[in-house]
Structure 1
Amino acid sequence: MHTVATDDLALETLMLPFERGLLAWPEEGGALFLRARDGWPLHQRPLPGLVCEQSFKPDADALVRAGLTLVAPDNTARYPLVLVLPPRQREELRALYARAVERVAPGGRVVACVSNKEGARSAQDDLRKLAGAVGDLTKNKCRVFWTAPLHVDDSAASLDTALQAQWLQLDASRPVAGGRFISRPGVFAWDRIDPASALLAAQLPADLAGAAADLGAGFGYLSAELLARCPSITALDLYEAEARALELARTNLGAVDTTVRLDYHWHDVTAGLPKQYDVIISNPPFHTQGSSYRPDIGRRFIAVAAEALKPGGRLWMVANRHLPYEAVLTDSFGSVRTVAQHDGFKIIEAVKAMPARPAPPERPFVRTRPGDRSL
């Protein structure tokens, strides 16, 4: 039996038009759910043909555990219903709407829901600009809204195909940091080098050596800096929960001239790591995808790093100065020191304790005769 979330108000509100009979679930052809999340509203009644797309590993894993079907982003099938839980970032949201209408079968609808605190009204206005008049319903401090049936192959339809083509490009990869990296909207600190990560990179000591991991690697900035600053690194694994970011990291690190073995893992770090390392670097997250404050995620990153480091292994991390990480650091590591503090951030080095050396065995007492020097 799977366990589902009980407080996903946006998901609950998304399903209200079907529960109230305002919209009908398709009898044939199924439905595509973009940025899907599992929750009890998906299990109240049969939803035949529902398939889900999700690039964030913890949410994708939860969908699979619930028995729901995942499809890859390159799936091109069309559906009579496309559900969307749009992201907060405006360009990413508009690109997702453009993809949603692209995936609608003729006569199908797009249905989306956004919480009020994340810009529900502007999100509704954007869908209206793209697809014409929309119906709506408000509850749970959220707004669910839906298009009229879209006749996407009809030139007289209300869908603005020129705007759709324009919005599809908003999520395209583009150069950042003077062209050193590529990034895209919606990825953490997507259009700049995050100042906390830059501070950590500047503090990395050149003597870091051996097998390394970057936890929450984003588009690969810290990994690239580790390779540039620490010539004794022999292997580097990048762990990132957001597949869209990991794809960028693969491209960005692929452009680095290095003989270090690189590996990329679409992985939920909070579930633990499968290998042991000499070095771990991290700018751990402390928010969920929905921007809720979650310092427990950062604490879990630290505990997982401690589990994955070899004895004597070193964690180098950055955090906002106010975040309560000291207790888990002290409990998990043999030594902890604050290396630097600047602009509200702190750089910490934590070293995994070496196992205690066993005491040498006691030498047996041997009675000797006077003048016998042998032991």
Structure 2
Amino acid sequence: MASSHSDPALDSLLLPFTNGALCWPDGPVLFLRARDGAALRQFPLSQLVCEQSFKPFADELQRSGLQVVPEASPATATRYPLVLVLPPRQRDEARALLARAVALAAPGGIVVASIGNNEGAKSGESDLKQLAGLGGCLSKNHCRVFWTRPLDGSHDAALLDRWLALDAPRPILGGRFISRPGVFAWDRIDPASALLAEHLPADIAGHGADLGAGYGYLSAEVLARCPKVQALDLYEAEARALQLARQNVSGHATLAQVDYRWHDVTSGLPQRYDFIVSNPPFHTQSRADRPDIGRRFIAVAAESLKPGGRLWLVANRHLPYEETLNAGFGQVRVLAERDGFKAIEALKANPAVNRRPAR
């Protein structure tokens, strides 16, 4: 079933084919950063090869019966007569993606991209023009869709190689971590996570989880500061970030068992935990505020903690999380506030302790 959410960039991406400006090919079509939507139903879905590293979007595509691959690499021999792209907002990441799209196009193939006007549409169009030249462009739905001429090897090969390297994982913070553009707070320690890490008590113990682990900073701090932790599961919806977390956290000397899970936390967790830490997302990939995502993280944490289990959470001070915290936990207290953030500890009620004695 197609997603019911409005997706102007996706609708605009397919506009050149519905209005006759471009012809849909007979062969396989690669869709980079693919998202599901009703607009796709105009075309043979069996032709689509969808690359999507964000778990909620990947799950939607798979539920609709679309083929989803973790990564389409130019190192393989497969080339496509049409490559569709929904570039991200971060420019280095977007340039690398456009370069990979050009590299994956077959001789005579084309690359078509669509970006919202407030998400960097003009920059994206300029970048594709610089890399391979433009065959056309259209504006609709507050988006721009633009495409190459049929590719015949005349693109700027040196620029393509430079842009492909823009997305490569690299050392940050003096080599303490590995990261890459596009990942949340990719080249720094997020101040909210740093505040929470500073207030983690050393007596955290047992089997825990990090919800929305990013490139692994908070998990690394838990393992470094809390020697009684026996196991830690990292949940992260963005596979590109989880790959980095695997490198960053596995490099810390620890006796704890660590597991890495590509998972949409909002769908719930598969087991129960002694403790949970989280710096939950509160916006979409387009940076629109979505406090409901953070509230769902809190509700899932409450569902997934054992009685007496503890949640350590950090959030923007203005976000309306109190009602959800009070509904799911027996005790809630603010540990610290700084730079517009608040670190919170929440204790899940233990029925055996809180139950009134029988009369």
Short-chain TM bin: over 0.9
Whole-angstrom CA distance in 2 between matches of 1:103 and 1:264: 30
CA deviations 1:31-65 (Å, max 9, x no partner) are: 00000000110113435511100000000000001
Q: Measure how far apart 1:160 and its partner are.
A: 0.3
Whole-angstrom CA distance in 2 between matches of 1:250 and 1:182: 10
Whole-angstrom CA distance in 2 between matches of 1:266 and 1:48: 25
Q: Measure how far apart 1:74 and its partner are.
A: 4.6
Residues 261 and 22 of structure 1: CA distance in aligned 2, closer, same or farther (over 3 Å): same
Asked if structure 2 preserves the Cα contact closer than 8 Å seen for 1:32 and 1:79, the reply is yes
Partner of residue 307, structure 1: 303
Query: Which runs of at least 4 in structure 1 moved beyond 3 Å after TM superposition?
Result: 356-362
Give the match's secondary structure for 1:130.
Answer: helix
Partner of residue 339, structure 2: 343
Whole-angstrom CA distance in 2 between matches of 1:127 and 1:312: 55
Matched, 1:7 2:6: yes
Partner of residue 114, structure 2: 113
Whole-angstrom CA distance in 2 between matches of 1:211 and 1:71: 32
Asked if structure 2 preserves the Cα contact closer than 8 Å seen for 1:5 and 1:38, the reply is no
Partner of residue 276, structure 2: 280
Whole-angstrom CA distance in 1 between matches of 2:246 and 2:356: 48
CA deviations 1:283-340 (Å, max 9, x no partner) are: 0000111211100000000000001100000000100000000000000001000111
Whichever residue aligns with residue 25 of structure 1, its letter is W
Q: Which protein has the larger Cα radius of gyration, Structure 1 or Structure 2?
A: 1
Partner of residue 53, structure 1: 51
Whichever residue aligns with residue 68 of structure 1, its letter is L
Whichever residue aligns with residue 219 of structure 1, its letter is Y
Residues 213 and 48 of structure 1: CA distance in aligned 2, closer, same or farther (over 3 Å): closer
Asked if structure 2 preserves the Cα contact closer than 8 Å seen for 1:25 and 1:47, the reply is no
Q: Measure how far apart 1:246 and its partner are.
A: 0.2
CA deviations 1:194-247 (Å, max 9, x no partner) are: 011011100101111110100000000000000011111000000000000000
Whole-angstrom CA distance in 2 between matches of 1:101 and 1:349: 48
Partner of residue 127, structure 1: 128
> After the TM superposition, which residues 79-98 of structure 1 pair with which residues of structure 2 at under 5 Å, given as runs?
79-98=80-99
Unaligned runs of 5+ in 2: none
Q: Measure how far apart 1:178 and its partner are.
A: 1.5
Whole-angstrom CA distance in 2 between matches of 1:360 and 1:96: 63
Whole-angstrom CA distance in 2 between matches of 1:293 and 1:138: 25
Give the match's secondary structure for 2:245.
Answer: helix
Whole-angstrom CA distance in 2 between matches of 1:264 and 1:39: 29
Whole-angstrom CA distance in 1 between matches of 2:84 and 2:176: 36
Q: Measure how far apart 1:72 and its partner are.
A: 2.8
Give the match's secondary structure for 1:43.
Answer: helix
Asked if structure 1 preserves the Cα contact closer than 8 Å seen for 2:135 and 2:147, the reply is yes
* Count of matched residue positions in the alignment of Structure 1 and Structure 2: 355
Q: Measure how far apart 1:176 and its partner are.
A: 1.0
Unaligned runs of 5+ in 1: 363-375
Give the match's secondary structure for 2:108.
Answer: strand
Asked if structure 1 preserves the Cα contact closer than 8 Å seen for 2:83 and 2:112, the reply is yes
Asked if structure 2 preserves the Cα contact closer than 8 Å seen for 1:219 and 1:249, the reply is yes
Q: Measure how far apart 1:275 and its partner are.
A: 1.0
Whichever residue aligns with residue 139 of structure 1, its letter is K
TM-score, length of structure 1 as denominator length: 0.92
Asked if structure 1 preserves the Cα contact closer than 8 Å seen for 2:45 and 2:66, the reply is no
Partner of residue 150, structure 2: 149
> After the TM superposition, which residues 151-190 of structure 1 pair with which residues of structure 2 at under 5 Å, given as runs?
151-152=152-153, 157=154, 159-190=155-186
Give the match's secondary structure for 1:288.
Answer: coil
Whichever residue aligns with residue 197 of structure 1, its letter is S
The match for 1:73 among 47, 71, 74 is 71
Whole-angstrom CA distance in 2 between matches of 1:246 and 1:183: 10
Partner of residue 39, structure 1: 37
Give the match's secondary structure for 2:346.
Answer: strand
CA deviations 1:157-176 (Å, max 9, x no partner) are: 2x000000000100011111
Partner of residue 24, structure 1: 23
Give the match's secondary structure for 2:351.
Answer: coil
Q: Measure how far apart 1:359 and its partner are.
A: 6.5
Alignment RMSD: 1.3
Asked if structure 2 preserves the Cα contact closer than 8 Å seen for 1:6 and 1:40, the reply is no
Whole-angstrom CA distance in 2 between matches of 1:326 and 1:360: 30
Whichever residue aligns with residue 57 of structure 1, its letter is K
